[in-house]
Amino acid sequence: MKWRIGTLLLGVLVGGLALLPGVRGSEAATGPATIRITDSQLSVARMDIEPRGTSPGDVEVVRQKLFNRRVTTTALGRAQLICTFVDDRRERVCQGTYFLPRGTIVVGGSLQYRQLYDLAILGGTGLYDNARGMLTVTRTSRTPVRNLVIFRLAG
């Protein structure tokens, strides 16, 4: 009898804790949404380690300004992307942060060409706290380098 009452009390306690805010597993706070902006490349820096030329371990740092020209002609934010080459051609692993007016979005993943790529949305801050989804970047201009940037927030 004591065993049943103890088990019942434990079940009620665990069930009650699951209903408290912040005790449950982390859930995405950002609802389904699409953010469509453009970027303009400010700079690209490459750190070439031995051997000379593109090789595993080389690092590429990209800085960009972010725009929504339908709203304003001034920059609404900035982005930083750091990529490490994993082979002697084009494969690289990248991580980046997009600084937007109401928070940041952090992305990461692998890519071959900076002209067209997808990266996972890993999270964020502010309005984008715990964001998940996919970032798609498509080159629209070579000189100056400009891209269409689409965030597909899943939740």
Q: Which CATH number goes with the domain that contains 149?
A: 2.40.480.10
In a domain? residue 22: no
Q: Positive or negative, the Cα torsion across 48, 52, 54, 58? A: negative
- Residues found in the chain: 155
Choice between 10 and 122, residue whose per-residue pLDDT is larger: 122
Task: Read off the DSSP letter of residue 73.
Answer: S
Q: Which domain holds residue 37?
A: 28-153
Task: Read off the DSSP letter of residue 87.
Answer: S
For the segment 18-36, what is each residue's pLDDT rounded down to a tens digit? 333 333 334 545 679 999 9
**What is the model's pTM?**
0.79
Fill in the amino acid letter for 7.
Answer: T
Instruction: Give Cβ neighbours of residue 141 (< 8 Å, ≥ 6 apart).
Output: none
User: Domains in the chain: how many in total?
Assistant: 1
Choice between 6 and 27, residue whose per-residue pLDDT is larger: 27
Q: Give the number of other CB atoms < 10 A from CB of residue 100.
A: 22
Query: pLDDT class for 2, splitting at 50, 70, 90?
Result: very low
For the segment 38-90, what is each residue's pLDDT rounded down to a tens digit? 999 999 999 998 888 889 999 999 999 999 988 888 999 999 999 999 987 88
Residue 30: per-residue pLDDT: 65
Asked whether the predicted pLDDT for residue 11 surpasses 70, the reply is no
In a domain? residue 39: yes
In a domain? residue 82: yes
2-16, 23-37, 59-73, 119-133: segment of lowest average pLDDT: 2-16
